[in-house]
Structure formats: C-alpha cells, structure tokens
Chain A
Amino acid sequence: MHSLRGRTAIVGAADTAVGKVPDLSPTELCVDAALRALADAGINKDEVDGLVTCQSMAEPHMYHAETIAEYLQIFPRYCVTANAGGGTTFSTIRNAAAAINAGVCETVLISMADSLRSGLTRAQAMAMQSSTGHPQFEIPYGPTVPAYYALIARAHMDRYGTTPEQMAAVAVNGRNYASQRTGAQMTESITVEDVLQSRMIADPLHLLDCSLVSDGGAAVVLTSASKAKEFRTRPVYVLGMGEGHSHEHISQAKDLCTSAAVQSGRDAYEMAGLTPAEIDLAQIYDCFTPVVLIELEDLGFCDKGEGGAFVESGATALGGQLPMNTNGGLLSYCHPGHPGSMFALTESVYQLRGESGQRQVDTAQTALAHAQGGIMSSHATLILGLEETL
C-alpha cells in the first residue's frame, strides 16, 4: 500500500458557536464553519477545489455537498457528502488525502454541521438516532441508543470488572477540560458522585455517561504537503490513518468488548511509524463513557480490561501520560451528531499549534484522534504531527 504519511496537512481549522445555536440553520452553520476555516487558513474560497460535507439530520439535502457548494458559490472538482456516523470525519480525511495525493484535487474544504438541539424535537432526535438499529430484528424491541451502548458497558463490566465509578471518571475528565474551553456547552464542574447520582437512562448508563445533543459545526482545510507552506498557519501533517469495520448492528458484533479500533489503530500507527507511547495527546470518541475505555484499550494505550483503571489513575488529565478529550469531548463540549468528530480534529490542530490556552498540552508534537460510527461499528483513527515529526 502506498503510504500517505506526511503527504497532506491541515492548514485551516475552525469551530462555529456550539451548544444551543437557534439563530443559524444547519446549512448556515455549515457555511459559517467553512468561512471560518478559510479565514484561518488565510485563503479565498476560490482557492478551494474540493469540498466534503456530511448529511444533516435536521435539514437533510439529497445532494448535501453540492448544495453547500452552490450556497457558497464554489465550484469544486471533488465534491463528496460523507455518511458513516461518528466515524465520518476521519474517514473523510483519509479519502480526501488520497484524492489529493492522486492529483484529483489540491485543497479540500471539509465542513460539517448540524442542529440536533434546535432543529429537531427531543422525540425526533431520539427516533432518528435509534433508527440505526435493524428495522426487523432490533428496532421493534424498543432499544434506545443509550441501550445499545449499555449492552457493551455491561459486557465489559462482566468480563473485566469495570465499575460505574470508572466509567464516570471519563465524564469527569471531559468536564474538567470543558471548564477550560470557552464556549463549551457544559462547563459546570462535576464529580464521580454527580455522575452516579444522575438519572439512570439505560443501566448501567446514567444521564452524565451520555453525550450531549447539540447544534454546531466545524471545518478544516486540507492540502498537499508541498502547498502547505504557502499558508499563514503552522501546518499540521497527517501522519497516519486507518479504518476498521466489524458490523453495523450490535446484535451482529463478534465481540462486545473488543472493537475494530484494533485494526484502524494498527494501520494508523504503522503508517505514522509511531507507537502509542509516542502519542502526546488523544481525542477518543466519547458518545458514551464505556466506549472510551474500550477504545483506549484497543488503541494500545493500556492493556485489555484496564481502560477503567487507566482513566481513574489520572493518566488522561492535563499533565498526565495521555491528556485526552482536551476540549471536553462529546460529553461536555458538544455533540451535533455526524459532525461530532470534527471538533476532535479541530482541537487536535489547536493543540499542536499551541493555541489551546489553559488546556494546552505542553510541547505537544503528535496527536491521535479516534472516532466510531454505528454502534461500535465503523472505526477511524488519525495521527497528526508537526513538521518536526516528519
């Protein structure tokens, strides 16, 4: 396989306002994110020849990316609407990097946004998200999205002795960072006890084990390594990428405690030529707290079954061995659905560029971002680094 290591770089990154943003439609949020990222990169929209978006649940367009291109009046030669749930973002980066490397296009704008909070009723948001289940063999029984993930949490507790306190520690970790992130949806500090005392949604998951329902968008500009130095920003190079797909429906998973993050991580580390110990910080997909524990294990940051103890030890806090979810993640920063991982990507860029203020990880040169879509189904891992790591 042809290595894409260091062949592309992110030269622009931006978030819109997140949380509750009722004054902008999903389309407007997507355009807002796009323009902010272009401004960050210091380029005009005419310098973009590729566009990637993801479908919006609150304002679907049959041809989403084309609609956004028309709205912005840009005329790309590469135009894609991605749709792989939470894994969408990083999967998209890989496809765009491959397209750039193949000479299909040179500078790709990747912009994603949705308004699950303001654009849908609670019931609509719930029904839409639960429709990820199998229409004949799962959905009729009435599982909710938290219920699907609760099955995974329970299996991990049964097999490895993981505790509700350890899962709660993931939520506390995210909140600690979010309190340092201006504009985060949830900033009030919480304790493990607060998580355990919050309403039970689907045993063993409490309300605070579940990610947010948000409005928001984010965008990045990806270009070839050779062109990257022409931009005003410090380039953040794409060092490694991998994907793994094990099932779509959770009742078809071969193993509830080990995911295709093993494969996506292995491919990403191999391309980057790095080991887990050489990663300075990580953004680990946190739609529900137990997911983080399994991903930390599968990505090699700790042994199988040790995810709970790892987070509980403080390893993921600022100053720890692996600062994790440094903007607060989906649990505390925001989670607008498909675009969710875009914020993990932009946060990785801000951290590597040294722009993260109070939550800045000292001398960070490498960052890993991992996302999954479906119900622990489609995994994508991305490793980014500064020029020094090339």
Chain B
Amino acid sequence: MNRHEGKFLPTSQPGTKPYWEGCKRQELLLQECGQCGAQQFYPRSICTGCSSSSLDWVRASGRGTVLSWTIVRHPVSEAYADDIPYVIALIELQEGPTMMSQIIDCDPESVHSGMQVQVSFQDWTDEVSMPVFRVRSDNNN
C-alpha cells in the first residue's frame, strides 16, 4: 500500500495548475509580477501588491529558512498516523515568500528556527508530487 494513501490531496485549480505541474517536474514555482516585480506565494490570479494580472512563473531556488515549527504527535487523521511524529514548519523562501511544509528525514527534536532547508519532492500519487523540505548539510547554526 502507498504510504500516502488516504491523505488530503491538493486539488489543483485552473490558476494553480502550473504550480502543481512544476512540482511534478521537481521545480518549486513562484509567481513574479510583470508590473511591479514582486514575487508571491501561494499562486493567485493577481499580484497581491499591485493587483496586476500580468504574472510570470519563476523557478525558486528551493532554499529556505525555518521561521517556526512544531512536531505533530497526534495525527490529523489515520492516513497520517504512520508519519508520527512529523514536523510542520513555516519556511521563508530565499526569494521572500513564506510557505507551510513538512521537514522530512531528520530527527524532529533537532529542528530549530533559523535552520536552513532545501526543497525536495515526494510522489504521493501518480498525479501529485508534494514539495517538502530537508535539512541542508551546510547548516552552521
């Protein structure tokens, strides 16, 4: 059985489809405004700064810093029980925007704010790849 079976899968919308397609290609995509140059996440049909609809998809470096984190000890549903304990974190991407994700393949107790992380992709189904994060080896704090 797929260990991600039964999890809450994202359902892409017309405006977010390119993002999820990017994840399939192992690319983390942000939007960049053609009008004011701001970069944003999550994807929207308009720029959150100037409301322009002239937005381009740009590939993020995938590097980020842990802003805050928690270790989930009690799963949200049965489908997540095998992952317990899992780390949920808010990650500030190098480009500026913040996203929620999991930090995987680490000792949960070793996670701390300010930790440097790198995006990685987990295939949950044939259609869905989830961007998650791993601890960077060059952490110096």
Contacts and interface: CB of A to CB of B under 8 A. Distances in A.
B72 A142 contact: yes
B73 A202 contact: yes
B1 interface: no
Interface string B28-60: 000000000000011000000000000000000
A141 B88 contact: yes
Given A134-B42, A135-B11, A140 B130 contact: yes
B136 interface: no
A67 to B, nearest CB: 30
A142 B42 contact: no
A260 interface: no
B68 A147 contact: no
Nearest to A207: B74
Interface in B99-125: 99-102, 113, 124
Contacts of A140: 7-10, 124, 130
A147 B85 CA distance: 12
A261 to B, nearest CB: 19
Interface stretch (A150-158, A228-236, A335-343): A150-158
Given A137-B10, A140-B10, A155 B113 contact: yes
Contact of B90 (A130, A134, A139, A151): A151
Contacts of A150: 70
Interface string A308-326: 0000000000000000000
Nearest to A202: B70
Contacts of A200: 71, 73
B120 to A, nearest CB: 13
A143 interface: yes
Nearest to A151: B68
Q: How large is the interface on B (under 10, 10 to 19, 20 to 34, 35 or more residues)?
A: 35 or more
A322 B89 CA distance: 35
A274 B42 CA distance: 40
Given A127-B77, A142-B8, A251 B72 contact: no
A144 interface: yes
Contacts of A277: none
A154 B69 contact: yes
A245 to B, nearest CB: 15
B94 interface: no
B95 interface: no
A316 B71 CA distance: 30
Contacts of A203: 70-71, 73
Given A142-B80, A144-B74, A154-B68, A137 B113 contact: no
A155 B8 CA distance: 27
Nearest to B71: A203
Interface in A215-264: 250-252, 256
Contacts of A138: 100
27 contacts: A126-B77, A127-B77, A134-B42, A135-B10, A137-B10, A140-B124, A140-B130, A141-B100, A141-B102, A142-B8, A142-B77, A142-B80, A142-B88, A143-B76, A144-B74, A144-B76, A151-B89, A152-B68, A154-B69, A155-B113, A158-B68, A202-B70, A202-B88, A204-B70, A251-B90, A251-B98, A251-B100
CB-CB nearest 6 A-B residue pairs: A150-B70, A136-B10, A251-B100, A142-B80, A151-B68, A155-B68
